[in-house]
Structure 1
Amino acid sequence: IKATLPLCLLAAMFHITVHSLTQAPHHNEETKATDHQEQHPREGDSFESCQQIVPSNTDFAFQFYKQAAIQKPGKNIFFSPVSISTAFALLALGSRATSQAQVLEGLAFNLNNTQEEEIHKGFHHLLLFLDRPASQVQLSMWNTLFMDKHLKPLKTFLKDVKKLYKGEVVSCNFQDSTEAKKEINGHVKNKTHGNIIQILKDLDPSTLLVIVNYIYFKGKLHRYYFQQYLSFKVVQIPYKGDVTALFILPDEGKMKQLEDALTKDTVSKWKKSLARWRIEAYIPKLSISTTYDLKKMLMNLGVTDVFSDWADLSGIIGKPDLKVSKAAHKALLNIHENGTEAAAVTDTDFLPHSVPPVIKFNHPFLLLIVDQYTQSTLCMGKIVNPTEK
C-alpha cells in the first residue's frame, strides 16, 4: 500500500473590541507568554469528563456543516469542529449571564443537564487526551490570547485560560495595528509550520483582545475497512495511531440525500458496520483552503449577544465593556500520496475472499477525520469536484 499523507491545518479566531466609551483600565505589567504544561490525564474520571462533552461537540459539528453548506452552496466544505468548539468554549469562560448561555447552547450543550464547570473541565481533559504522547500521529492544538498591553484581565480568567485550555497569553500593542497584525499572523504561521501564512487580513483599531485557536494534524494511512450501502459506500482508513479517516461516497446525484441523513447516530451506525475488506480505493490528490465567517454562522445558531452591544464579557476584565467584532475560521487540507493516486491492499486477512471492489472517489464525497480514543471529530468536509486540478 502506498503511504497517504493527509495534512489538516485549521484556525479559529475572534476579534474582541470595546463597545462603550469606557476605557479598559491601564495595566502596568505586561502579560508575558507562558507555556502551561500539565500531566496527561489517566483513565477514569478524566476520561468520563472528556466523554461528557463529546456528544454535544459532535452535534455541533453536523449543525455547523449545514450552516457551511448554506453559506457557500456548491463549494468545498472543510473545517475543524473541535477547533471551533474549543475557541467558543474559551470565549464562554469569559462570558456571563445570557451571553454565556447563548454561546454554550450554540455549541449544542443542554445547560439543564450539564453545568458550565463540567463543560470547561471536559474541554480541559479533551485537550490533554488529544495531545497524548502515545499517539503515532502528529496532532497538536493551541489557544493563544493576544491582549492589549493596556488591558487589565482578571487573574482568575488568566489562570483558568492556562489551566483549562492550555492557553498562552501574549501582550500586544494594538495601537500599532500594522505591527499587531504582523505579530499575530507570524505566530499562527509558526504554529502551523508555515502552512497558514495569514489568518488576519485587517484589524479593527478598537481591538483589545484576539483569541486564536489552531490545530495541526498530520498522519500516515494504512489498511482499509469498507461497507456498501444502498446508495453510498463508506471507506474507513485508520492512521497509524488512534485517528481514522472516513470517506463517504454517495452514488452520483445522491449527495443531498446523504447530507440530510448526517447525524452522530447514523455515522456511529456506519462505523460499527464496517468490516476489513480487500479493496482498491482511488483517492485523488487534494489541496483545498476554506475560510468561514463564524459570526454569521453562530448567530444563525442563536449566539447573538456576544456580537452586540448587549455582550457581557465581564469574566475577562470585570466589566461588560467588550464585544466580539469578528470571528473567523481558516482551514487547509492536503491529501497527497507518494507518486500515485491509487492504493490497494493485498493482505489475505480480509472479508470476504472475493474479487476486491474498486472504489473511485471521482465525484463529490464526504470526509471525516475522527480521533478514535475520544471519538472527537477533528475535521469534516465535502469535496465537490475531486478531479479538479
Structure 2
Amino acid sequence: MSIMVPPPLLLLLLPPLLAVLLPGDSCRAADIPEDITAEFSVRLYQRLQARGDQGNIVFSPLSVALALGMVELGARGDSRDEIRRAVGFSQLLPGTEFSLLQNLTSALSEDEAHYVVRFANSLYLQEGVSFSPEFVHLMRKFFRAKVETVDFNKSAAVAEQINHWVENHTESKIRELLSADDFNSLTRLALVNAVYFRGSWKNQFRPENTRTFSFSRDDGSEVQTLMMYQQADFYYGEFSDGSQEAGGVYQVLEMPYEGEDMSMMIILPRQEVPLASLEPIIKAPLLEEWANNVKRQKVEVYLPKFKVEQRIDLKEVLQELGVGNIFTNNADLSGMTDGKDLFVSKVVQKAYLEVTEEGAEGAAGSGMIALTRTLVLYPQVMADHPFFFVIRNQRTGSILFMGRVMTPEVVEPIDDFDSI
C-alpha cells in the first residue's frame, strides 16, 4: 500500500537591508497605524539569543510578521489561530491584521526623500495546481504581490529565477539565496517578500575622524576595528532595572536618520558587563520606555563601522513561539487551494545590515587620523564592546531590524596611533 505524502509549502524568509523569502512613540500621527508586533519581535530575539551562539545577530522582525501574514491569509482553523496568537494579532478583529500590514508598509515606504524602505512581494505557483482565485486576489490587494506560475520540477531554473528577483529587490545585497536543492516535485508554492532599507544619518560621521580602535569582546579577547567618532545632538538616556541583573546602569543612544522618522537605537552595558547580562531584561514595554525617555542633548559617540549578515533557520524558533501546526500534516492552508494537502516545510531568513559614516548601507571610504582624548564635558557613548541595536520607525513603532554586535568588522592595525 502506498502512502500519500502531503506536498510541502516551502517557506523561506529572507529580509535585507533585507529580504524575506517564503518559498515551499512617542509622536505618532493619528492617521498612522501602530505596529503591535513588538512583543513578537522581542520574543524572536530572545529565542535566537538563547541558542548559546556568541556571534552577531541580525534579523527583520517586520519581515517575519509580513511573511507569516501572507501565510495566514491562506490558513484556516488552528493553523491561522496559532499565527494570530504568536504575532500579536489576537487583539484585533479577525481579518483586520491584513489591512494593518498593508497600511504599515505603505506608511513606511511613503517618504523616499529622506530614507528608502521598499517592500516587494511575489507569489510563485506550481503549474497545473488550482489555487483559490480569492487567495490570489487578496495577495494582490493586501501585499501587492506579483503572481507567477513556475514548474518546481525544474528546480535549478526556479532557484535562479527567484534569486534574480531577490537580488534585484535588495540592491544586490542578498545573492544566491536558494539552490536547486530547496525545491522538489512536492513543492507547490513559493511566497517571496523582499524588504529593503537605506538611510543616511541626520548627523553624519566625518570619514576623516574614523580610526582603528580596540574592540573588547565578551570572551576577553580584543580585535582591531574602524571606530567612527562625532560630537553632536542625539537622544540619550541612562537606565537601570533596579537590580544587578543588567549589571547596573546602562546607556541608550538613539540616532535618527534623515527625516527623523527612522532611527537606530544602541543599548550599551558598562564596559565590564557582558551583553548577556543585559539581554534578559529586554521586553517590548522597555523598548517604548527607552524611546519615550531619552532626551535630546550633546553626546560624544564612538561607534564601530559594522556589517552583519546572518542566515537563520526560523522553523524551530517559530515552533517554540507556538507556530507549529503549519509545519505538520495537520496544517490547514485550505484558503490557498481547495485541498488540505499543503504544509510549510522550511522557514529561512537571511539578513544583511551595514552601518557606515553615511548611515545604513553606505560605503564611504575612511581616512585615518589620531584622536586625542579630551576632558569629557558631555555624556560619552563608547561602543567599544558588545551592544544591542534596534532600527525602528518612530511613527508606527515598527522594528525593521533587531540584533547585536559581538564582533564588528575586523581590520589589521595600520599604525600605532596610541604613540602619536
User: TM-score over 0.5 for the alignment?
Assistant: yes
Secondary structure, counterpart of 2:17 in structure 1: strand
* 1:355 matched residue in structure 2: 377
* 2:20–2:195 Cα contact (<8 Å) kept: no
The reply to whether residue 64 of structure 1 matches residue 21 of structure 2 is: no
* 1:177 matched residue in structure 2: 155
Counterparts of 2:238 and 2:324, CA distance in 1: 42
Give the deviation of 1:341 after TM superposition. Answer: 8.9
* Paired amino acid for 1:143: N
Q: Which among 284, 298, 317 is matched to residue 318 of structure 2?
A: 298
Q: Which among 157, 160, 170 is matched to residue 192 of structure 1?
A: 170
Q: Which among 262, 265, 269 is matched to residue 246 of structure 1?
A: 265
* 1:363–1:387 Cα contact (<8 Å) kept: no
The reply to whether residue 373 of structure 1 matches residue 395 of structure 2 is: yes
* 2:109 matched residue in structure 1: 131
Secondary structure, counterpart of 1:161 in structure 2: helix
Q: Which among 56, 69, 74 is matched to residue 89 of structure 1?
A: 69
* 1:292–1:328 Cα contact (<8 Å) kept: yes
Counterparts of 1:377 and 1:140, CA distance in 2: 14
Give the deviation of 1:172 after TM superposition. Answer: 1.4
Counterparts of 2:273 and 2:151, CA distance in 1: 52
Q: Which among 286, 291, 297 is matched to residue 306 of structure 2?
A: 286
Secondary structure, counterpart of 1:127 in structure 2: helix
* 2:217 matched residue in structure 1: none
Deviations 1:135-181 (A, max 9, x none): 51011112211111222211110111011112121221211011011
* 1:258 matched residue in structure 2: 278
Counterparts of 1:331 and 1:296, CA distance in 2: 18
Secondary structure, counterpart of 2:49 in structure 1: helix
* Paired amino acid for 1:77: I
Counterparts of 1:162 and 1:288, CA distance in 2: 32
* Paired amino acid for 1:314: S
Q: Which among 360, 385, 406 is matched to residue 384 of structure 1?
A: 406
Question: What does residue range 24-43 of structure 1 map to in structure 2 within 5 Å?
Answer: none
Give the deviation of 1:13 after TM superposition. Answer: 2.1
Deviations 1:54-74 (A, max 9, x none): 12x111100000111123521
Secondary structure, counterpart of 2:264 in structure 1: strand
* 1:350 matched residue in structure 2: none
Would you tell me which structure has more helix in proportion to its own residues? 1
Q: Which among 330, 336, 351 is matched to residue 350 of structure 2?
A: 330
Give the deviation of 1:387 after TM superposition. Answer: 6.1
Q: Which among 183, 190, 211 is matched to residue 204 of structure 1?
A: 183
Residues 322 and 387 (structure 1 numbering): CA distance in 2 closer, same or farther, change over 3 Å? closer
Question: What does residue range 91-170 of structure 1 map to in structure 2 within 5 Å?
Answer: 91-110=71-90, 113-133=91-111, 136-170=114-148
The count of corresponding residues between Structure 1 and Structure 2 is 339
Counterparts of 2:356 and 2:377, CA distance in 1: 27
Secondary structure, counterpart of 1:75 in structure 2: coil
Counterparts of 2:182 and 2:16, CA distance in 1: 26
**More deviation in 114-123 or 376-385?**
114-123
Counterparts of 1:235 and 1:381, CA distance in 2: 15
- 4+ residue stretches of structure 1 with deviation over 4 A? none
* 1:347 matched residue in structure 2: none
* 1:272 matched residue in structure 2: 292
Question: What does residue range 207-226 of structure 1 map to in structure 2 within 5 Å?
Answer: 207-223=187-203, 224-226=234-236
The reply to whether residue 229 of structure 1 matches residue 239 of structure 2 is: yes
Deviations 1:337-387 (A, max 9, x none): 242699x9xxxxxxxxx8123322111101100111211111101111236
Counterparts of 2:85 and 2:341, CA distance in 1: 23
* Structure 2 unpaired stretches of 5+: 1-14, 204-233, 241-248, 358-363, 412-420
* 1:285–1:341 Cα contact (<8 Å) kept: no
**More deviation in 79-88 or 163-172?**
163-172
Secondary structure, counterpart of 1:333 in structure 2: strand
Give the deviation of 1:254 after TM superposition. Answer: 4.3
**More deviation in 132-141 or 145-154?**
132-141
* 2:16–2:170 Cα contact (<8 Å) kept: no
Deviations 1:31-67 (A, max 9, x none): xxxxxxxxxxxx76x63xx32xx12x11110000011
* 1:317 matched residue in structure 2: 337
The reply to whether residue 15 of structure 1 matches residue 35 of structure 2 is: no
Deviations 1:223-244 (A, max 9, x none): 4221123421111110002101
State the TM-score, normalized to the length of structure 1.
Answer: 0.82
Secondary structure, counterpart of 2:178 in structure 1: coil
* 1:139–1:215 Cα contact (<8 Å) kept: yes
Counterparts of 1:215 and 1:387, CA distance in 2: 24
* 1:30 matched residue in structure 2: none
Counterparts of 2:66 and 2:93, CA distance in 1: 16
Counterparts of 2:104 and 2:404, CA distance in 1: 25
Residues 341 and 358 (structure 1 numbering): CA distance in 2 closer, same or farther, change over 3 Å? farther
Residues 291 and 387 (structure 1 numbering): CA distance in 2 closer, same or farther, change over 3 Å? closer
Counterparts of 1:267 and 1:340, CA distance in 2: 35
* 1:143–1:214 Cα contact (<8 Å) kept: yes
* Paired amino acid for 2:110: R
